[in-house]
Amino acid sequence: MTVIAIDKELCTGCQECTKVCPAYAIEGEPGQPQTINTDRCVMCGQCVQKCKAYLSVWEHGKEAYEAKKRERGLPQSVREPLFAAYNVCHLNELKDALADPEKYTVVQAAPAVRVGIAEDFGMELGTLAPGKLAAALRRLGFDKVYDANFAADLTIMEEGTELVQRVKDGGVLPMFTSCCPAWVTFMERNYPEISDHLSSCKSPQQMGGAVFKSYGAHLDDVDGSRVYSVAVMPCTCKEFECNRVEMRDSGWKDVDVAITTRELAYLLKEKGIDFNSLPEEEFDMPLGDYTGAGAIFGVTGGVMEAAIRTGYELITGEAIPDVKVEAVRGTEGFRTANVKVGDLTLKVGIVTGLKNVIPVIEDMKAGRLDLHFIEVMTCPEGCVSGGGQPKLLMDTLVPEAYGKRRAGLFAHDEALPLRKSHDNPAIKKIYEEFLEKPNGNIAHHLLHTKYCGD
């Protein structure tokens, strides 16, 4: 499927996109329209964030501008420049579902969306807006407003248990995280021989979708076949991920459609919803309950920190002395840390930016890497800098925006009463009532997978 495209009518061949493409997928001569090698593209959308060539109503005329919007399936309310590099829009599909009385629509929003969406409504960079986000989604007409943060907590239970089992039982190490679909796609296409090192866990988006159509449908007394599952994500590759053939363990397509933070802003504006004036509302319970560990999934190192908070207790039987695991925080391309967990020295690595994973893999294959667990995020500073986040028109704003989005998620974590995934009462409830235990038979069927490539 086509997720990322470059409009040859608009591309000037400046090649700024080639400089940020982590998969070296953009090809073409300088000064000529560029093309995307779909065999290499991991659909991360960094080219979309970087592109500066555009069509606007002021420079090209209203007729040309409106025609291009129709071509891309964009709402008529869109007024911003239309850039050469763009992600394919799925809003028409979503609007049809929301208008269909036979569909029971549920939605989840990723951690990074709540520190991005407000920017598209004129608020300060990095504004933390979970309450307004929940209210906005409810105003669109969703039957249930759940949260990917709940699914992030669920991911930690499954991934943490998997890691502990590998360490204790002599399993394949190091184990790589599988939350980032662009990284998973890169691994499959370029290093399929290391697939056993990848966690078998689905991403939070896909775990959420599988749970919403099974356990969630049961709680809501709705047949799973009626549930239409929507994900609002900072990542363009999530559109690809939800269409993978493996992602149907609920009995149906686990996530029916994924839209970006930008596309959510388009839809809210089209519906005339004034985001800034919305009240603070809660996500629907229990599948909207989450801890600080789930919230920090949106920053590089966040998955690792969340996993250590819970893994420490799984291994030692004791609460971690300090939930703030400073050793794994940062934004450098590749960093390592040793974390004392009882009698075990847990050796971890964090890869920020996909280009930085290549030497890590080569060192691992050559036997030069002594680590237990490695987090990989494709985008420059994790999901807060995802290809589907609000576009920053001036490069000078990028460091400030990314820094403030990161700070917003860390502040959210610190403000929450519970900060460890295993302390989430809704997580305890789903295992007691449905999943039985982490990595058990039911959990493994619904929440884990074996990636098989394209």
Active-site residue set: 159, 162, 179, 199, 238, 241, 246, 383
Q: Are 119 and 175 in contact (CB under 8 A)?
A: no
Q: Are 386 and 259 in contact (CB under 8 A)?
A: no
* Closest residue by Cα to residue 205 from 92, 104, 111: 111
Helix/strand/coil percentages in the chain, nearest 5? 45, 15, 40
- Nearby residues of 87 by Cβ (< 8 Å), 6 or more positions away: 3, 4, 5, 45, 48, 236, 239, 260, 387, 388
Q: State the amino acid at position 261 in one-letter form.
A: T
Q: Are 279 and 135 in contact (CB under 8 A)?
A: yes
How far apart CA 336 and CA 351 sit, in angstroms, is 9
Backbone region of residue 364 per phi and psi (left: phi > 0; alpha: psi in -120 to 50; beta: other values)? alpha
In the sheet that holds 334-341, the strands lie side by side as: 175-176, 373-377, 344-352, 334-341
Using CB atoms within 10 Å of the CB of residue 265, give its burial: 0 to 12 exposed, 13 to 18 middle, 19+ buried: buried
How far apart CA 211 and CA 202 sit, in angstroms, is 12
Tell me: cis bond preceding 286? Omega within 30 of 0 counts. Answer: yes
What is the distance, to the nearest Å, from the Cα of residue 283 to the centroid of all Cα atoms in its chain? Answer: 18
Q: Kindly report the CA angle at 90 between 63 and 272, in degrees rounded to 5?
A: 70
How far apart CA 147 and CA 149 sit, in angstroms, is 5
- Nearby residues of 10 by Cβ (< 8 Å), 6 or more positions away: 53, 54, 55, 82, 83, 84
DSSP secondary-structure letter at 111? G
* Closest residue by Cα to residue 259 from 32, 425, 45, 13: 45
